[in-house]
Amino acid sequence: MKSIIYVYLVLVTASVFGQSPAGFIEEAKTFQEELNATYMNPDSTILSKRQLKKFSGLKFYPIDLKFRVSATFKRTQNAIPFQMELSSGRTREYVQYGLLTFELEEQQFELPIYQNTYYRDHPEEEYGNSLFLPFTDYTSGDGSYGGGRYIDFVIEDIEDNHLLIDFNRAYNPYCAYTTGYNCPIPPEANDLKFRIEAGVKDFDGKY
């Protein structure tokens, strides 16, 4: 799934700031359709055969342009790598790449965005320019997956110290669907005191 998300990000990076609202909506629809196709395809899904038989598609909040925000980006200087907790009890090393500041309904929020230190040290690899934005919010466990959701970016998405965050592209970690994966747990600093009613909803295994 990550490769599909990565290719999608590369394709849209150059034009996102100049699109019309209709273009934004179509872009979010395309992302959601491709995410759905990944889970419905027996060759790429992580769902069990039993789950797949009952699976008719992921559930999403209605696409809402309110949740597509332009965030001010500030690069974090001399950031110290840290161990981000995983759902398995293990950890994985990340470093804060920068801090995003944005507004929703006249409220200001901040979210750190991270880089896996392995990819930082190996920029020549496929995901060498990838950035990771995990978050929880007031829907976590009340409409969306309790363990939080993710949005992926590439460094080139940052233009003139701004990054366009589209919460309509928020997706669940694999742990929302099955066991056996090491899913990063969003740090406390990435807990939004707001209901992000956008992106994928929780998975109950019954659809």
pLDDT of residue 21: 83
How far does Cα 130 stand from its chain's mean position? 12
pLDDT of residue 176: 95
Q: Which two tokens stand for residue 151?
A: 């949005």
Distance separating alpha carbons of residues 104 and 23, to the nearest angstrom? 21
CA-closest candidate to residue 99, choices 112, 81, 80: 112
Distance separating alpha carbons of residues 198 and 54, to the nearest angstrom? 24
Distance separating alpha carbons of residues 200 and 1, to the nearest angstrom? 14
Distance separating alpha carbons of residues 9 and 26, to the nearest angstrom? 14
Q: Give every CB contact of residue 196 below 8 A, 6+ residues apart in sequence.
A: 67, 135, 137, 138, 139, 144, 149, 167, 170
- The residue ranges of DSSP E strands in 54-138, in sequence order, are 68-75, 82-85, 91-104, 107-116, 130-135
pLDDT of residue 13: 41
Q: Say whether 53 sits in a helix, a strand or coil.
A: helix
- The residue ranges of DSSP E strands in the chain, in sequence order, are 68-75, 82-85, 91-104, 107-116, 130-135, 149-154, 162-166
Distance separating alpha carbons of residues 96 and 101, to the nearest angstrom? 14
pLDDT in tens, the chain (207 residues): 554 444 444 344 434 445 678 888 999 999 999 999 999 999 999 999 999 998 999 999 999 999 999 999 999 999 999 999 999 999 999 999 999 999 999 999 999 999 999 999 999 999 999 999 999 999 999 999 999 999 999 999 999 999 999 999 999 999 999 999 999 999 999 999 999 999 999 997 654
